[in-house]
A and B are shown apart, each in its own frame.
Chain A
C-alpha cells in the first residue's frame, strides 16, 4: 500500500529507510543512479566528515513520478504532460481534440487560481480535475498524485496533464507522464525555442498553434524548425490550427502513434 494515500500501488523511498515490497512488479520509466556511502562515524572525534552522495536533488519527486506512472500503466493509460506559455492554446486544443479522436481522455489541469479551465472541459463533456497551485509555478509529481485520486481512471486511454502556463519551471519536474507535448503559439514568435532551450529540449513533440494567424505575424516556421533541430533533432513539429481539421487530425494521429506499447 502506498503509505501516503492508501492506494494499491507500491512506492519506494530511496533516502533513509529502505523498504521492500513483495509485490514490486512494475518497472519505473526512468533510472536512478545514485550511490550511498555511509559515513563512518567515530564518536571519539569531533572532526568534520565528508560524505559523498551523488544524488538527484529532485529524487523524491522522481520517485513519486514513477509511482504516478505505475498508476497510469496499471490502468493501461498513456499520460502526456502538456506545457507552454499561458495563453498558447492548451485548453482550447483539448476542448477541440474530442472531435478528432476516438481515444477516451481526461485532463488534470494546473493553474495558480480558478477552476475555469476544468470547467471549460467539463462543459464539453471531457472529464477534468483542477489543481490550484496557489503561487507555485509548476506542477510536481505530488500534486498530480493528489489529483489522480479525484479522477476516475477506468476506461481511459489518455490522461493529459495540462501544466501551469510557463516555459521555464515545469521543464524541471517529471510528473509521471510518458511523453511531453510542448505548444508554441504563432503570436509568441519563433525565437522562443532558442530562448527557452530546456523546455524544447524536453519535448517529444512541438505543436505550433494558432497557425491561422501566420499571415499576420512574422513567425518564421523554417527558423523554428532549425532551432528545434539543434536542441532536439529527432522530434516532430506539427503546425496546428483548431480551424484546420487536417491539422487537428495530425495531432490525433501523433497521439495514437505515441500511445504506450505502440512503438
Chain B
C-alpha cells in the first residue's frame, strides 16, 4: 500500500504549483498512470479522496488516464500498444524492444482557480 505515499507526493506538488501561480483552489488534477508503474488505480483514487480533504485539492476531481505499455521494436521498427504485461513485439515476436510508455506516474494537468477578491 504505497499509494498513500504517492498521493502525498502528488498533493504536495499540487500545492507548490498552486502557490507558484497564486491559485487558491485546485479543481481538477489529471494524472497518467502506466500499467507497469506499480500502482493500483483504485487504491490511488481512495487515497486521493482521503488525503485531499485537508489540502488545496479538497474540491478537486482526480482524472486518471491509464496508460498501456507502448513498445518500439528494434528489429521490425513497429510501434505497438500491448495488452499483456510483456515487452515482446507482437508483430515479429522479437525480444529486442524499447518501452516508450506505460511505466511512469505523471502529473499532466491542473485546473486551478483564484479567489476574485
Binding site for B on A (CB under 8 A): 15-16, 38-39, 41, 43, 46-61, 136-138, 140, 168-169, 171-173, 197-199, 201, 229-233
Contact = CB atoms under 8 A, between A and B. Distances in A.
B62 to A, nearest CB: 12
A180 to B, nearest CB: 13
A172 B87 contact: no
A39 B26 CA distance: 13
Contact of A38 (B21, B110, B113): B21
A46 B20 CA distance: 17
A53 B5 CA distance: 20
A39 B112 contact: yes
B106 interface: yes
A152 to B, nearest CB: 29
A59 B17 CA distance: 14
A50 B110 contact: yes
B19 A16 contact: yes
A137 to B, nearest CB: 6
A57 B106 contact: yes
Interface in B4-28: 5-6, 9-10, 12-13, 16-17, 19-23, 27
B60 to A, nearest CB: 12
B21 A15 contact: no
Contact of B109 (A41, A46, A52, A232): A52
Contacts, number: 116
A52 B17 CA distance: 10
Nearest to A44: B116
B87 A231 contact: yes
A172 B43 CA distance: 15
Contacts of A168: 2, 38
Contacts of A39: 21, 23, 112
A54 B36 CA distance: 18
A57 B13 CA distance: 8
Contacts of A61: 9
B75 interface: no
A48 B110 CA distance: 10
A60 B20 contact: no
Interface string B61-105: 000000000000000000000000111100000011000000111
B21 A201 contact: no
A51 B86 contact: no
A251 B40 CA distance: 33
B86 A231 contact: yes
A173 B2 contact: yes
B95 A58 contact: no
B10 A57 contact: yes
